């Protein structure tokens, strides 16, 4: 550990055990192994020295105040469903769970907002909104994520095409700074130019700048009709080349997802879920919503015509709950399917300009072949965020897998950069993509990241070693 | 000047005159007085030591590299239409105009974006979008603003109710850092979680962190129909209390503007523009857009019914260009009208939660009376951003006006804070609201602002003394 953190000792434990009831504090030896990693154990397994569950912001503040004074690293954690190795204790210290801070306010109809503690689940928030006749659009695949986790990672999901990402729905944040101070970033207002927009740099900061204790989220009127079309193609290029054309319609589609037929085989084989159509080699699923039946019919017709003109074999309308469920449950199961179908996985979460998606998918396949790695592309074609899954088959040795995936990822990131894309579209940097960041963004930008980290966390105690590394460098040398 | 900047001397001038042709560099004694202030000379008149017009990012970089090495303050300037005293040389140094960097790219239809240099005018960008069948929604009153100015101040405007503010349309930024390095914040992608979201802290940073050299803006499909209703009320409270009800309709209105009849008199008297209805004491103007004639008729009916139920005398539909022009040209003229109708003006740009607008307006009137200041409230009721105009009538002495406006503003800011609002909704802090900022956001948050400023601008040479003050404090003491 290059930075000399204080190693938690009996005195520290005594201090915290006097403050927290025994069912909310766990010593190192009894901490459950699930807290050593997130959904990607490939990105590091790190045992905390102490596990604490907070129930309010004052407790979070108390923990941070002590940690700041005593130079102890703290990592906040939600549901642990991240895909970047973010919510783990890379340098030991305290894992501070926010899952017991899970209150959801009543809907504020006059401001069209809802106020939520970070440990509430995304799915619960969406349900409360829906039950109240409103709509919370962000929908990353993982609906058991905590809402705080989705805010601190700026979770995306497929509806970003029309509705944007989590950032677009966060109106205000209450948080605890590394020194324990409780602060508010913006408030329940629609516009704000009161100095620096700190709220937005917190969103997506992966727990490295502050700890969320409450978020106020914007809700919108619920769309009255949501239909989808399933569009099979004989050929992957024609399929993916349809996407930019769909983005030039007279309206914005809700989602445009992309699936290769190979994935449908995998999901059927391992999870026994079948897709309503199996005639294509590649599919688009286009989701559309509208305010009247007539409007949505027109939209569906416009989208279908574009797909057929672009070489689709068909455009099957899903306008019943049953049909929609059968489509979207397969889409939701692809990650689980791929895990079942391979020995190990790596994942590339690049995002490229939407005009370059076809180029990216074509080249990604070629790069995968070069390294003998099975590559499946899947996901959010409509927003340029194609998840590129690298699957390890049994014949590869540990060393081959490691060196080939690293080399393959480097080429995929270089490709993304060349196409004007980014390193991560929605999963974040965390620990898993950290080694690729400095090369991608450049030295000067990396230094700016370090300066920003230090502006908030001058002792580098909050989720250290994630998103940006300070340990390598002389802390005093950064301005 | 507490921080010892280098005073520009003949050697510096010689250096720059060798680099810039004589028609793009002006010595102190010949600089036009209009560059000493923005649209609010009340917020400070500051002569620069040197005026330079850049034509590309390399020139901006060259200026900053020299300024950084030599410790010379630099303020970038667009069209100078700001309302916070932002784009001025508070500590002298170089005023760097970006108005000759005004290229506008072709529309990128596949990505639905347009790439623009900072000196292009907002109105030109909007026109190019419109001519191309698309829509750039941000619409601050001042359409002769430079697009760079609107981005660096996160300009708002009335369409924020439905479409959000400038921030929501900025997809990527190219900028020059204080040390002269040219960097990119994000790229033409829809999602991005590649580390800290620097782009969003740049937006609204008022030229204190970097200098914009290019922005890529998102365009959206143009609405097919845009109609308005003019809604007169006998009484200001009933008028303003209608707003939260309009926000609970089955759709989001484009804009909800609020006008007192007194303003209509002023605009008619001084600018000879008449409003199509004069039966009310207060008015809402509700703008609505939709995708079909049937849809917009339904929306207009829904909105009209809510207004009538809430005490409106009428709801007059504007669905012709002629009628719309007569309404919106009066609305656009109110600031000019108030300037003509008073000896001096001060302006309070608070934003409050939309549920608290009525409370704010009622109390603001009472506060104004207390200080013998004529207060007119006007503006963006639909987003809680009510401009509170303080007008100086002739009977007030200079001292009375100064002390009374300061006391009055303090109460208005305290009121906004009590209601959960913010100090500035869309005009920013600049120099004019600086004295009120630390009190409003608190000492710890102010310190965070200072740390962020230093993370970008460790020598405090970029537009110093705006948005946040570093001069007061020991620069080395901030972490």
**Do B245 and B306 form a contact (C-beta atoms < 8 A)?**
yes
Average pLDDT of the segment spanning A373-391: 92
Around Cβ B3, how many Cβ atoms within 10 Å?
17
DSSP single-letter state for residue A168? G
Give percent above pLDDT 70 in chain A: 97
C-alpha–C-alpha distance, residues A51 and A44, integer Å: 18
Tokens 């916070």 correspond to what residue? B84
Residue A472 confidence class, pLDDT cut points 50, 70, 90: low
C-alpha–C-alpha distance, residues A311 and B42, integer Å: 63
Do the domains at B10-97 and B342-418 have one common CATH topology?
A: no
What are the φ/ψ torsions at residue B243 (nearest 5 degrees)? Answer: -55, -50
Please check the confidence at residue B394 and state whether its pLDDT lies above 90: no
Please check the confidence at residue B333 and state whether its pLDDT lies above 80: yes
pLDDT tens column, A456-468? 999 999 999 999 9
Residue A3 confidence class, pLDDT cut points 50, 70, 90: low
Q: Calculate the average pLDDT of chain A.
A: 94
Average pLDDT of the segment spanning B155-182: 96
ipTM of this complex prediction, to 2 decimal places: 0.95
pLDDT tens column, A167-210? 999 999 999 999 999 999 999 999 999 999 999 999 999 999 99
Question: What is the nearest CA distance from B421 to chain A, expressed in angstroms?
Answer: 6
Instruction: Show me where the domains of chain A are located.
Output: 10-97, 113-221, 225-335, 342-418, 443-477
Around Cβ A185, how many Cβ atoms within 10 Å?
24
Q: What is the DSSP string of A337-364?
A: HHHHTSSEEEEE--B--GGGHHHHHHHH
Q: Which residue of A has its CA nearest to B171?
A: A353
pLDDT tens column, A217-231? 999 999 999 999 999
Question: In chain B, what residues touch A205 (CB-CB under 8 Å)?
Answer: 196-197
Question: In chain A, what residues touch B110 (CB-CB under 8 Å)?
Answer: 244, 247-248, 353-355
pLDDT of residue A64: 98
- Whether residue B197 and residue A251 make contact (CB cut-off 8 A), yes or no, is no
pLDDT tens column, A151-169? 999 999 899 999 999 999 9
Please check the confidence at residue A471 and state whether its pLDDT lies above 70: no
Nearest to A195 among B200, B355, B441 (CB): B441
Element (H, E) at A259: strand A255-260
Q: What is the DSSP string of B251-267?
A: S--SEEEEEEHHHHHHH
pLDDT tens column, A281-301? 999 999 999 988 999 999 999
Nearest to A138 by CA among A211, A215, A242, A206: A215
**Beta strand ranges found along A98-219 (DSSP E):** 113-116, 134-135, 170-176, 182-185, 211-218
Residue A306 confidence class, pLDDT cut points 50, 70, 90: very high
Instruction: Please give the C-alpha separations between residue A458 and each of A212, A455, B479, in angstroms, as whole numbers.
Output: 18, 6, 6
- Rounding to the nearest 10 degrees, give the CA dihedral for residues A231, A232, A235, A239: 10
- Please state the separation of Cα A365 from the chain's center in Å: 24
C-alpha–C-alpha distance, residues B103 and A282, integer Å: 41
pLDDT tens column, B229-278? 999 999 999 999 999 999 989 899 999 999 999 999 999 999 999 999 99
**Torsion over CA: A250, A256, A260, A266 (sign):** negative
**Do B206 and B90 form a contact (C-beta atoms < 8 A)?**
no
- Whether residue B427 and residue A177 make contact (CB cut-off 8 A), yes or no, is no
- Whether residue B109 and residue A248 make contact (CB cut-off 8 A), yes or no, is yes
Average pLDDT of the segment spanning B190-207: 97
A229 strand-pairing partners: A286, A317
Tokens 């001519």 correspond to what residue? B131
- Give the right CATH number for B10-97 from 3.30.43.10, 2.40.70.10, 3.10.310.70, 3.20.20.140: 3.30.43.10
Nearest to A428 by CA among A455, A466, A390, A465: A466
**Beta strand ranges found along A7-54 (DSSP E):** 25-27, 50-53
Q: Which two three-digit tokens encode residue B392?
A: 């100086």
- Answer whether CATH 3.40.50.150 is correct for domain A225-335: no
What is the CATH T-level fold of the domain B342-418, as seen in this structure? Alpha-Beta Plaits (3.30.70)
What are the φ/ψ torsions at residue A201 (nearest 5 degrees)? Answer: -80, -25
pLDDT of residue A178: 98
Question: In chain A, what residues touch B292 (CB-CB under 8 Å)?
Answer: 295
Nearest to B312 by CA among B256, B368, B352: B256
pLDDT of residue A142: 83
Question: What is the nearest CA distance from A195 to chain B, expressed in angstroms?
Answer: 6
Question: What is the nearest CA distance from A177 to chain B, expressed in angstroms?
Answer: 10
C-alpha–C-alpha distance, residues B164 and B426, integer Å: 12
pLDDT tens column, A323-348? 888 898 999 899 899 999 998 889 99
Q: What is the DSSP string of B81-110?
A: --SSS-SS-TT-SEEEE-TT---BPPPBTT
Question: In chain B, what residues touch A292 (CB-CB under 8 Å)?
Answer: 295
Highest mean pLDDT: which range of A272-276, A373-377, A420-424 = A420-424
- Answer whether CATH 1.10.599.10 is correct for domain B113-221: no
């Amino acid at each position: 550990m290059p930075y000399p953190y204080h190693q938690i000792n009996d005195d520290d434990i005594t201090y915290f055990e006097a403050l927290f009831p025994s069912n909310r504090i766990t010593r190192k030896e009894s901490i459950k192994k699930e807290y050593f990693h997130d959904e990607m154990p490939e990105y590091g397994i790190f045992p905390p020295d102490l596990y604490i569950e907070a129930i309010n912001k004052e407790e979070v503040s108390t923990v941070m105040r002590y940690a700041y004074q005593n130079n102890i690293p703290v990592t906040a954690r939600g549901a642990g469903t991240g895909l970047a190795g973010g919510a783990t204790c890379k340098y030991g210290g305290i894992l501070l769970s926010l899952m017991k801070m899970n209150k959801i306010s009543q809907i504020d109809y006059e401001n069209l907002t809802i106020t939520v503690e970070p440990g509430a689940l995304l799915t619960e928030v969406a349900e409360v909104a829906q039950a109240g006749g409103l709509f919370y659009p962000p929908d990353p695949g993982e609906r058991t994520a905590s809402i705080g986790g989705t805010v601190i990672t700026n979770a995306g999901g497929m509806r970003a095409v029309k509705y944007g990402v989590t950032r677009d729905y966060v109106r205000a944040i209450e948080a605890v700074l590394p020194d324990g101070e409780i602060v508010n970033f913006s408030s329940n207002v629609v516009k704000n130019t009161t100095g620096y927009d700190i709220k937005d740099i917190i969103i997506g900061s992966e727990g490295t700048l502050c700890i969320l204790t409450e978020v106020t989220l914007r809700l919108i009127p619920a769309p009255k009709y949501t239909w989808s079309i399933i569009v099979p193609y004989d050929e992957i290029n024609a399929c993916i080349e349809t996407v930019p054309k769909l983005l030039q319609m007279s309206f914005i589609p809700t989602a445009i997802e992309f699936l290769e037929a190979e994935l449908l085989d995998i999901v059927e084989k391992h999870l026994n879920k079948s897709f309503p159509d199996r005639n294509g080699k590649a599919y688009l699923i286009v989701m559309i919503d509208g305010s009247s039946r007539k409007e949505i019919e027109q939209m569906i017709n416009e989208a279908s015509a574009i797909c057929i003109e672009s070489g689709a074999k068909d455009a099957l309308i899903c306008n019943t709950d049953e049909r929609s469920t059968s489509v979207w449950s397969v889409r939701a199961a692809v990650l689980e399917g791929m895990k079942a179908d391979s020995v190990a996985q790596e994942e590339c979460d690049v995002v490229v300009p939407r005009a370059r998606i076809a180029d990216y998918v074509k080249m990604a396949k070629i790069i995968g072949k070069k390294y003998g790695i099975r590559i499946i592309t899947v996901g959010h074609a409509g927003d340029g965020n194609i998840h590129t899954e690298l699957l390890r088959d049994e014949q590869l040795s540990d060393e081959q897998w490691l060196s080939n995936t690293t080399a393959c990822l480097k080429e995929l990131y270089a490709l993304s950069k060349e196409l004007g894309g980014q390193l991560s579209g929605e999963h974040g940097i965390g620990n898993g993509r950290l080694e690729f960041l400095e090369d991608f963004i450049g030295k000067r930008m990396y230094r700016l990241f370090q300066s920003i980290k230090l502006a908030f966390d001058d002792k580098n105690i909050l989720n250290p070693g994630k998103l940006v590394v300070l340990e390598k460098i002389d802390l005093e040398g950064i301005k």
